[in-house]
Amino acid sequence: MKIVRYPSKKLEEIYRRGFIRSRRIEEKVKKIVEDVRLHGDEALIRCTKKFDGIKLTAKQLSVCERDVSCAYQNISQDFVESLKTVTNNITRFYRRQTVKSFRLKDADGVCLWQNICALDRVGIYIPAGEAPLVSTVYMTVVLAKVAGVKNIVLVSPPGSSGNINPHILVVADLLKVKEIYRVGGAQAIAALAFGTKTIGRVDKIIGPGNAYVTEAKRQVFGYVDIDMIAGPSELVIIANRFSDPKLVLADLKAQMEHKQAQVYLVTNSKALARQIKAELHGNGYIILTKNLKEAIEVTNQIAPEHLEILIKNPRALVKKIKNAGAIFLGPFSPCAIGDYLAGPSHVLPTGGSARFFSGLNLLDFIRSTHVISYSKKALEKAREPLEKIVNVEGLTQHWESIKIRL
């Protein structure tokens, strides 16, 4: 790891890390997306053979009941039991996150209200290349269920056997996901966005993926909604001379298990900086500040996916942290507890996008409709301001549509 002092030009590069895009990947993904849009299942079969080395028929794109039954034979009963604890934690957390319809009325006959309803059909992408992200299944599907989504479509790339990882299938089945397809990469995102003969299009696509999946989500946004543009996994640790170096080291190493993970230690302790640099080799930065105030400033600029505060009184800093996907406080709250079990979803903004994106929540699975009802009396009362504003814009027929009612 490299030591960087605050302030420096290198820090500016770190702050802007999310702006980097690959034109080569953009062009490749564009061709894949267009191929799937035009040729549907044929394109999916072609891409699966080319990128995954698996030859499938159109019928085999769908996971059937027999596939799910076989998956149960390859997992332990203990795994199933553990899921109950996890899903209970997630359900309990998100049931508190209420979003309600409301109505406003006045004496003149104006009635305004907001209707809230769940999205009808949501597609969830589960990566399986670097590691089968079994936890991402329940970290997405449970939220969709709590929000009231009726139709959940799960896609995940097939392994060398031609099947989806059995743990992914079992979790999806236990959560009552009825549509599962063995397809991954940019082609899976295109299928969800535009639909094929086998895979019906969805309203929104949720879930992380590699650079090709991420770019495909960016390109189909607008035809379909997406959760966010996610990049490599990230961790910032704020620590000082009172922090346990063993915990700092362990948590940085854990994050670096993810391919291309970006890790940062922000500290005002030169001794800790030297020790971590000597013991941890790999990509990442140790950012040396004069005090914790500067450490907070650096962290807010980085806007990390995960933030651990490993000082003696971590709660003292929380209110000063404006930009972070998820914050973990103290020595017994490692980032890994949020990855698997705590409750809040681990689908979080990366690349500095925590400045304007939130972690996955119920709002991602619902939409609102605004309803407007005016009486004649209310419309007459609004006549003067309406006429003035419409005349400024010069849209005469707009005013005529109001005047004819008066």
Q: What's the CA gap between 241 and 29, in Å, rounded?
A: 47
Closest to 191 measured CA to CA, from 166, 224, 169, 144: 224
Cis bond upstream, residue 7 (ω within 30): yes
Q: What's the CA gap between 386 and 402, in Å, rounded?
A: 9
Q: What's the CA gap between 55 and 341, in Å, rounded?
A: 36
Q: What's the CA gap between 276 and 298, in Å, rounded?
A: 19
Sign of the alpha-carbon torsion through 257, 261, 264, 270: positive
Cis bond upstream, residue 334 (ω within 30): no
Catalytic residue among 215, 305, 308, 346: 305
Pair of tokens at residue 148 = 């009231």
Q: What's the CA gap between 291 and 313, in Å, rounded?
A: 15
H/E stretch holding 267: strand 262-267
Is 258 among the residues known to form the active site?
A: no
Task: Collapse the DSSP code of 113 into the 3-class scheme (helix H, G, I; strand E, B; otherwise coil) and give the result.
Answer: strand
In 120-232 the beta strands, taken as DSSP E runs, fall at: 121-125, 151-156, 179-182, 204-206, 225-226
Catalytic residue among 215, 234, 306, 346: 306
Is 305 among the residues known to form the active site?
A: yes
Q: Are 232 and 260 in contact (CB under 8 A)?
A: yes
The CA-atom distances, in angstroms, between 396 and each of 386, 399, 406 are 12, 5, 16
311 Cβ neighbours under 8 A, 6+ residues apart: 238, 239, 240, 242, 243, 292, 317
Residues with active-site annotation? 305-306
